[in-house]
């Protein structure tokens, strides 16, 4: 998706200007899933309301934003109930090759890793996300065979309410602690970092997904973080 406005471009191998390409690697909140009123509620925010679109609008011309949000996606866990295809580390290599060359990969995962079934601590979840970042930084999916930049986003904390709360017992505390560990991981790797807890809150209808207003706020905040990375 390309949007008009004041942006920035990179030079290709032939010296011509090309859009910088951003891959948004996430879960249902990157997909644009609306808060679930009941299990298997399939509503989705309209495309203009999703945070990757808002980010693209805010960044303006010169940026190509690709949204890769998979509902239920974890960082590194095979889901014993929903299937191993939910495991982000399995999907990542193919997506890097599909969309290369990439200037930046934004990783906004970790919420599904807080599910009770995985028995993971905030530290463990952050280590899984660090593995995701290391995979990106070790790839040749960037311009001219280099590695893309990485922006690690600590997602909004879970609130244990609504119809999916039984899947997220204990997730509220773990998700609140995740940002500290993820920021430390970003520091070790030289990656960008943004904590979304001060930016938006989960919709109290289900405590996990986002309102349109929260999606917009995250999109604008992400645009600021991207601009800072490339300044």
Of the candidates 122, 208, 202, the one whose C-alpha atom is nearest the C-alpha of residue 165 is 208
Percent of the chain with pLDDT over 70: 92
Domains, the chain, ordered by start: 17-229 (3.40.50.1110)
pTM equals 0.92
Query: Phi/psi zone of residue 160: left (φ > 0), alpha (ψ -120 to 50 degrees), beta?
Result: beta
Q: What does the pLDDT read at residue 10?
A: 58
pLDDT digit string, tens, across residues 100-140? 999 999 999 999 999 999 999 999 999 999 999 999 999 99
Q: What does the pLDDT read at residue 5?
A: 34
pLDDT averaged over the chain? 93
Peptide bond into 174 cis (omega under 30): no
């Amino acid at each position: 998706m390309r949007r008009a406005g004041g942006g920035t471009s990179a030079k290709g191998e032939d010296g011509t200007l090309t859009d910088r390409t951003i891959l948004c690697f996430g879960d249902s909140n990157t997909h644009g899933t609306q808060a679930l009123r009941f299990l298997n509620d399939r509503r989705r925010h309209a495309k203009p309301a999703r945070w990757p679109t808002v980010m693209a609008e805010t960044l303006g011309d010169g940026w190509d934003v690709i949204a890769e949000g998979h509902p239920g996606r974890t960082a590194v866990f095979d889901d014993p109930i929903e299937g191993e295809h939910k495991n982000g580390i399995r999907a990542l290599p193919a997506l890097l090759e599909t969309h290369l060359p990439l200037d930046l990969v934004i990783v906004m995962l970790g919420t599904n890793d807080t599910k009770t079934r995985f028995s993971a601590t905030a530290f463990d979840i952050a280590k899984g996300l660090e593995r995701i970042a290391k995979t990106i930084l070790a790839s040749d999916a960037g311009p001219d065979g280099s590695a893309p930049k990485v922006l690690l986003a600590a997602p909004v904390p879970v609130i244990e309410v609504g119809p999916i709360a039984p899947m997220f017992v204990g997730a509220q505390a773990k998700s609140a602690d995740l940002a500290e560990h993820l920021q430390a991981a970003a520091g070790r790797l030289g990656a960008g970092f943004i904590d979304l807890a001060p930016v938006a809150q989960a919709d109290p209808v289900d405590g996990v997904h986002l309102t349109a207003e929260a999606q917009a706020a995250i999109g604008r905040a992400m645009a600021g973080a991207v601009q800072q990375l490339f300044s």
